């Protein structure tokens, strides 16, 4: 299915001062479009339409598409064309099983490295998300990233960081249409993780992250039962 892009609302990111390469700006724009479901899972990327919509030449657009492919948001469809990557439930569950092994260890390693300011910012974002009416799934995604990046960023293991970020891209592509039902459990579980990090209790941090990942697995299995 070819994606038809509305010309009425050009993306705002490209109206910022041109202090970065056009390819970087195109990358950010397309990543947001995927998160906002303007480009949906399984949809074909039509370079000409995107180039016209974003006001870009093909060269920076192709550089951005290649970067998105490397990061796992796009896949090659044959020749030089791309599709927005579609993640099925089997891949989602397999990715969560790997996260269940790695992410608690990353959280444990980060226990003494997460700063009070980082914890405060995460707690503020979580409180703001719960208070937001109507529900805003983009804010939910941002809040989720903020909490999980606390221990991914601070685990001091670059291989683990890269692996977990790649796995989170996979799981988020599956979750993007299913987040509404996860607001309450995610909020409670993230609160528990932040509490454990504030207490600097490594074993508790590990347990709370395990509990969170297993909760995601149960939710997915219940949704397809």
CATH 1.20.120.530 for domain 89-224: yes
Domain boundaries, the chain: 12-84, 89-224
Tell me the CATH number for domain 12-84.
1.10.10.10
Give the burial class of 162: count Cβ atoms within 10 A of its Cβ; 0-12 exposed, 13-18 middle, 19 or more buried: exposed
**How far is Cα 219 from Cα 77, in angstroms, rounded to an integer?**
31
Same fold? 12-84, 89-224: no
Of the two residues 189 and 173, the one the predictor is more confident about is 189
To 10 degrees, what angle do helices 89-110 and 202-224 make? 170
What is the per-residue DSSP string for 109-154?
HHTTTS-HHHHHHHHHHHHHHHH-SS--HHHHHHHHHHHHHHHHHT
For residue 6, what pLDDT is reported? 44
pLDDT band at 78 (very low <50, low <70, confident <90, very high): confident
Average pLDDT over residues 10-36: 70
148 in Cβ contact with 193 (< 8 Å): no
What percent of the chain stands above pLDDT 70?
90
Task: Tell the residue number behind the tokens 């980060």, with chain if given.
Answer: 110
Q: Which residues pair with 2 in a beta bridge?
A: 44
**How far is Cα 96 from Cα 22, in angstroms, rounded to an integer?**
34
For residue 22, what pLDDT is reported? 85
Rounded to the nearest 5°, which phi and psi values hold at 87? -105, 120
When mean pLDDT is compared across 80-84, 172-176, 177-181, 207-211, the lowest value belongs to: 177-181
What is the tens place of the pLDDT at every residue in 122-175? 999 999 999 999 988 889 999 999 999 999 999 999 999 999 999 999 998 887
């Amino acid at each position: 299915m070819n994606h038809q892009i509305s010309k009425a609302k050009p993306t705002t990111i490209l109206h910022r001062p041109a202090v970065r390469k056009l390819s970087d700006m195109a990358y950010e724009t397309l990543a947001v479009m995927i998160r906002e479901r303007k480009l949906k899972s399984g949809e074909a990327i039509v370079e000409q339409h995107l180039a016209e919509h974003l006001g870009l030449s093909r060269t920076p657009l192709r550089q951005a598409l290649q970067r998105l492919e490397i990061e796992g948001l796009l896949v090659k469809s044959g020749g030089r064309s791309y599709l927005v990557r579609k993640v099925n439930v089997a891949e989602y569950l397999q990715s969560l099983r790997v996260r269940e092994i790695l992410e608690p260890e990353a959280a444990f390693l980060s226990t003494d490295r997460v700063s009070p300011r980082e914890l405060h910012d995460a707690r503020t974002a979580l409180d703001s998300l719960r208070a937001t009416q109507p529900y805003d799934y983009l804010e939910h995604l941002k809040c989720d990233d903020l909490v999980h990046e606390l221990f991914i960023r601070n685990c001091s293991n670059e291989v683990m960081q890269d692996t977990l970020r790649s796995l989170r891209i996979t799981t988020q592509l599956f979750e993007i249409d299913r987040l509404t039902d996860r607001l309450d459990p995610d909020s409670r579980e993230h609160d528990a993780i932040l509490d454990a990090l504030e207490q600097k209790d490594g074993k508790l941090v590990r347990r709370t992250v395990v509990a969170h990942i297993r909760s995601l697995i149960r939710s997915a299995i219940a949704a397809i039962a």
